[in-house]
Amino acid sequence: MTSDNDRRRGLLARLRERPAARSRGRRRLGAAVRLIAALMLAGGAYTVFAPGAQAQDNPQLTGAAAEGKALFDVSCVTCHGRNAQGVEGRGPSLIGVGAASVEFQVSSGRMPLARQEAQAHRKPPVFTDEQTRQLAQYVQELGGGPVVPDGDDLREDGNIASGGELFRINCSQCHAFGGGGGALSSGKFAPSLHPATDRQIYAAMLSGPQNMPVFGDNQLRPEQKADIIAYIQETLKHDQDPGGFNLGRYGPSTEGLAIFLVGIVALVFASLWIAGKS
């Protein structure tokens, strides 16, 4: 007990004593030197890392990103502005959105946008896979951001049961139990998941496009994302609907329609027929 206390006291004492031991002049000199050194470090770091006026004219882009910039300057610059800085009231800045966002929006045909409206619709993509990669690389090199892992099959070893549970907790509120999508406020909507590829679902979870929340890797770990993708792709899309025609999987509203359009109509005709046989 005593030895422990002594050592601690000794250390504290030394720290306390040290400035008192140095003269006032030396202390001031030391402070000045440290200040100059810190200023030089900050300034040097700024000149190294900050994109200066020259950097805008002559960016240090890789080959793919340069190709992407060429595409961007033709197709995207109207709304997203020079260097993807965004245009007020037309399109947001893309700095920091990451390759995942570009990949989702461009590969699903949502970008380029057809017109300004509540939300972008899925269309046949305008750019090829290669061009999409180049655009994504360009935006990635502008400001970093989330990136979708490599490969087309992102559901390897995905556990469908756990994916189903995660889907019902995180996704079905908007995309509905069958993945067919649902309405949001003011004309916005959660789209159907049926045309989406593994990479698009993964990119959407990473980047949170349109009204979707971001599911970063700390909210849903990569293996949980794989589980969800496995559930969507293997159960929701390939479920054989053991009960017959699924009526669009819209829940009880189409079932109610069916009982009148099929059941009641058929039976009214049957009763016309039977009553006519007299």
Partner 1 sequence: MKRRKFDLAATPGKAAVGVDDRFAVATPLRKLLNKVFPDHWSFLLGEIALFSFVVLLLTGVFLTLFYEPAMTEVVYDGSYAPLQGTPMSAAYASSLDLSFDVRGGLVMRQMHHWAALLFMAAIVVHMLRVFFTGAFRKPRETNWIIGSLLFWVGFLAGFTGYSLPDDGLSGTGLRIASAIMLSIPVIGSWVTSSIFGGEFPGTIIISRFFIAHVLLIPGLLLALISVHLGLVFKQKHTQWPGPGRTNNNVVGERMFPRYALKQGGFFMVVFGVIALMGGLFQINPIWLFGPYEAWVVSAASQPDWYVMFLDGSTRLMPAWEINIPLGDGYVIPPLFWPTVVLPGILVGLSTMYPFLEARHLKDRKSHNLLERPRDAPARTAVGAMAVSFYVVLTLSGANDVIADKFQISLNAMTWAGRVGLLVVPPIAYYITYRLCLGLQQHDREVLAHGVETGIIRRMPDGQFVEVHQPLSAQNGHADGHGQLEYVGWVVPKKMNRLGALGPAIRGFFYPIEKPAEAPVSPGHPPVEARPEREEIGSGESRR
State how far the Cα of 241 lies from the Cα of 140, in Å rounded to an integer. Answer: 42
Binder to partner 1 among 52, 124, 151, 243 (CB under 8 A)? 243
List of residues 6+ apart from 68 with CB closer than 8 A: 131, 133, 134, 135, 136, 137, 138, 139
Start-to-end Cα distance in the chain: 111
Q: Is 109 among the residues that bind partner 1 (CB under 8 A)?
A: no
Q: Is 237 among the residues that bind partner 1 (CB under 8 A)?
A: no
Q: Is 271 among the residues that bind partner 1 (CB under 8 A)?
A: yes
Binder to partner 1 among 39, 181, 194, 207 (CB under 8 A)? 181
Single-letter amino acid code for the residue at 236:
L
> What does the per-residue mask of binding to partner 1 show for 189-208, with x meaning CB under 8 A?
xx------------------
List of residues 6+ apart from 62 with CB closer than 8 A: 137, 141
> What does the per-residue mask of binding to partner 1 show for 125-164, with x meaning CB under 8 A?
-----------------------------------xx--x
Binder to partner 1 among 95, 197, 235, 237 (CB under 8 A)? 235
State how far the Cα of 215 lies from the Cα of 97, in Å rounded to an integer. Answer: 14
Residues 139, 144, 163: CA angle, nearest 5 degrees:
100
**150 and 218 Cβ atoms separated by less than 8 Å:** no
Binder to partner 1 among 168, 195, 213, 219 (CB under 8 A)? 168
Binder to partner 1 among 19, 25, 63, 244 (CB under 8 A)? 244
Binder to partner 1 among 5, 88, 187, 218 (CB under 8 A)? 187
For residue 207, the tally of other CB atoms under 10 A from its CB is 25
| Contact positions vs partner 1 (CB under 8 A) | 118, 160-161, 164-165, 168-169, 172-178, 180-187, 189-190, 231, 235-236, 239, 241-247, 249-260, 262-264, 266-268, 270-278
